[in-house]
Amino acid sequence: MNVQDDTYDEAGRRWDQIRLTGVSATGYHGVFAHERREGQTFVADVVLHVDTRRAAANDDLAHTVDYGEVALLVAAVLSGEPVDLVETVAERIAATVLARPGVHAVDVAVHKPQAPITVPFGDVVVSIRRDRSKLPAAEPYRPATGQVRRPADPEQQHPRTAPLPLTDVAPAFASVDVVHADPPSAATATSPFAPTSSDPVPSTPTPSSPFAPTSVGPVPSAPTPAAPVPAGPFAPPPAPAPLAAPPLPSHLPGPPPAAPAAPVTSPAGPDGPGSVVVGPAPTGAVPTGVVPAVGIAAGPVPAHVPVPDAARTELMAPVTDVVDAEIVLDALDEPPAQPVRAVLALGSNIGPAQETLRQAVADIAATPGVEVVAVSPLARTAAVGPEQPDFLNAVVLARTTLSPRDLLRAAHAVEDRHGRERHERWGPRTLDVDVIVHGDTLAVTDDLELPHPRAHERAFVLQPWAQIDPEAQLPGLGGGPVAQLAATAPDRDGVRWMALDWLTAPVPAANPEPDNASQGEAHLP
Ligand SMILES: Nc1ncnc2c1ncn2[C@@H]1O[C@H](COP(=O)(O)OP(=O)(O)OP(=O)(O)O)[C@@H](O)[C@H]1O
Ligand SMILES: Nc1nc2c(c(=O)[nH]1)N=C(CO)CN2
């Protein structure tokens, strides 16, 4: 396996992989009578493209794909209903694995090392990738009712993991890896494995099967362009000097006219550190403005959205029940019913910081489902945290139809595009894009906290934000009027200047670094 085998989510981030190699069983597949009669060894390698973070954060098998179950299923297909072609075996394994929730793509290689080939040979392998855009052309394997039972070991069974019924096949397999980088390829095992008395596998689905499909086919790939939306309560004020945005996609409207902001009543709930609150702020929260409910579905479409029949290809038609719905993990994966305001904070203190921030604003504006409404002046700020060079900081006001988590992914994608590396917490970086607020969402989860947990105490966020939205309110505990928070933030004295025309003014080629940036310098009030 190498980087060419990687797959990426809609924000361009590499999916993690669980690799299971050398699952081995005796099968009776082949076009010759002796193959059907005598059987031979088949070996499968399977790579599941998944997101392992949630399972890792909770250290909970329930949030991942149990490779033990996958191994049993793969072995059941290898030793199951005989077919002529290795291709069919591979397709069936792919369908079975892709039907597991949380699997975004699957690579399957089926080896037939004892194939009836009349010249010396090492191996013959059929290798395929299937995902939600190239669905398997086969039915997933489903254990029949009455034939299923899991080889349960109560001592070993994690208490939070509900047992899944499976056939009592016992595959031999060489290794399983959960990887974030490419390990050396594992050797395949060839130990024979005879089919059990419960084989062959029934070809018709059983109504009570736990593997019964729950939905739907592929997701349309072309995002709908964002439609213009009327003004929200966070339109930029006329002062300071208006900032020309960098070249933006043509579908982006100009800044909407200003409208009054409503006060926020920060919810003072009982939620201490570590608690989870997900959902809109209660009474008195910032209104999101009146926006049309139609024509706004830009950006990635969640896979649980049913797909109209017309969208399916003929090839897909017979197998539309193969892929399970994508799990909506929590409310942070739900796109808003209407566009909501979002505030993004940008920072850079490595490399050509001003140019990086400019490009980052253009990247954000080009993100489907994100419409840039205003861009703050540029602040040069003393670093908060470890000793390091000054930062250049700016804030982007946007409207978005993305879910909070998709917006975070989009922010990370922009960071990655600009060579962001994660070493030291609060350390120097080519680009940081933080999600400060997403609508009225208040949330504390493993991977995303809203509003950003440290925004209320960061002048390098609050000052630029207040410049383009003096009435802005930071929702949540510790929140309040942004301008007021900016004036009292501990690092306020470190915000030393702002460039008003930083998006359009030429960056001096010799002086692109924050330490030398002086173009359009202005002083904070
Ligand atoms: N509102 C948020 N915006 C951005 N990242 C967040 C947010 N809430 C939680 N995170 C998580 O924080 C992780 C670390 O983010 P990042 O590397 O940008 O941190 P940092 O910039 O060093 O520190 P800070 O979060 O204090 O700005 C991210 O991977 C992300 O999952
Ligand atoms: N001045 C300044 N200091 C920081 C910044 C930043 O953007 N500006 N970002 C940090 C981590 O996000 C840590 N410290």
Maximum pairwise Cα distance, the chain: 88
Taking a C-beta distance cutoff of 8 angstroms, is the pair 401, 524 a contact? no
Q: Does residue 393 register a pLDDT over 70?
A: yes
Residue 225 lies in a domain: no
Q: Does residue 227 register a pLDDT over 80?
A: no
pLDDT score, position 215: 28
Beta carbon of 440 within 6 Å of any ligand 1 atom: no
Q: Separation of 54 CA from ligand 2 center, angstroms?
A: 26
**Atom 14 (ligand 2) nearest CA:** 384
Residue of 376, 391, 420 to test ligand 2 pocket, by largest number of atoms within 8 Å of CB: 391
Beta carbon of 435 within 6 Å of any ligand 1 atom: yes
Residue 319 lies in a domain: no
Q: Does residue 389 register a pLDDT over 90?
A: yes
pLDDT score, position 5: 83
**Atom 6 (ligand 2) nearest CA:** 347
φ/ψ of 187, rounded to 5, equals -75, 150
Q: Separation of 203 CA from ligand 2 center, angstroms?
A: 58
Taking a C-beta distance cutoff of 8 angstroms, is the pair 42, 98 a contact? no
Atom of ligand 1 nearest to the CA of 454: 26
* Amino acid in the structure at residue 467: Q
pLDDT score, position 382: 95
Q: Separation of 449 CA from ligand 2 center, angstroms?
A: 17
pLDDT score, position 222: 32
Q: Does residue 509 register a pLDDT over 80?
A: no
Point out the domain boundary residue: 179, 207, 240. 179
Q: Separation of 241 CA from ligand 2 center, angstroms?
A: 25
Residue 377 lies in a domain: yes
Beta carbon of 405 within 6 Å of any ligand 1 atom: no
Residues touching ligand 2 (Cβ under 6 Å) are: 347, 381-385, 391, 393, 426, 432, 460
Q: Separation of 392 CA from ligand 2 center, angstroms?
A: 9
Ligand nearest to the CA of 451: 1
**Domain that includes residue 81, residue range:** 3-179
Selected residue with higher pLDDT from 152 and 35: 35
Residue of 452, 457, 458, 465 to test ligand 1 pocket, by largest number of atoms within 8 Å of CB: 452
pLDDT score, position 177: 60
| Interacting residues of 48 by C-beta distance below 8 A, sequence separation 6+ | 17, 18, 19, 20, 65, 67, 70, 97, 100, 103, 106
Q: Is 134 a catalytic residue?
A: no
User: What are the Cα distances from residue 245, in Å, to 45, 236, 300, 376?
Assistant: 50, 13, 25, 10
Q: Hey, CA dihedral for 176, 181, 182, 184, is it positive or negative?
A: negative
Q: Which of 112, 358, 438, 458 is catalytic?
A: 112
Q: Hey, CA dihedral for 304, 307, 312, 318, is it positive or negative?
A: positive
Q: Does residue 270 register a pLDDT over 50?
A: no
pLDDT score, position 262: 32
Confidence band for 402, pLDDT divided at 50, 70 and 90: very high
Q: Is the pTM of this model over 0.90?
A: no
Mean pLDDT is highest, among 209-213, 316-320, 458-462, for 458-462
The stretch 255-271 carries a mean pLDDT of 32
Residue 255 lies in a domain: no
Confidence band for 450, pLDDT divided at 50, 70 and 90: very high
Tell me the two tokens of residue 512.
Answer: 């692109």
The stretch 505-521 carries a mean pLDDT of 50
Q: Separation of 128 CA from ligand 2 center, angstroms?
A: 45
Point out the domain boundary residue: 134, 152, 179. 179
Taking the C-alpha atoms of residue 248 and residue 254, their distance in angstroms, rounded to an integer, is: 10
Write the CATH number for 62. 3.30.1130.10
Task: Characterise 340 by phi-psi region: left (phi > 0), alpha (psi -120 to 50), beta (else).
Answer: beta
pLDDT score, position 132: 79
pLDDT score, position 207: 31
pLDDT score, position 460: 97
Q: Does residue 449 register a pLDDT over 90?
A: yes
Residue 89 lies in a domain: yes
Point out the domain boundary residue: 179, 204, 235. 179
Count how many domains the chain has.
2
Residue 412 lies in a domain: yes
ipTM for this model:
0.95
Of all residues in the chain, what percent carry a pLDDT higher than 90? 45
pLDDT score, position 331: 85
Selected residue with higher pLDDT from 270 and 377: 377
Residue 283 lies in a domain: no
**Atom 13 (ligand 1) nearest CA:** 447
Strand ranges in 363-430 using DSSP code E only, listed in sequence order: 370-375, 378-381, 391-400
b/e per residue 111-120 (b: at least 16 CB within 10 A): bbbbeeeeee
How does pLDDT run across 43-99, given as a tens digit for each residue? 999 999 999 988 888 888 888 899 998 999 999 999 999 999 999 999 999 999 998
Confidence band for 439, pLDDT divided at 50, 70 and 90: very high
Residue 103 lies in a domain: yes
**Which of 447, 386, 367 shows the shortest CA–CA distance to 56?**
447
Q: Does residue 365 register a pLDDT over 60?
A: yes
Write the CATH number for 479. 3.30.70.560
User: What helix, strand, coil percent values describe the chain, rounded to 5?
Assistant: 20, 20, 60
**Which of 108, 107, 113 shows the shortest CA–CA distance to 192?**
113
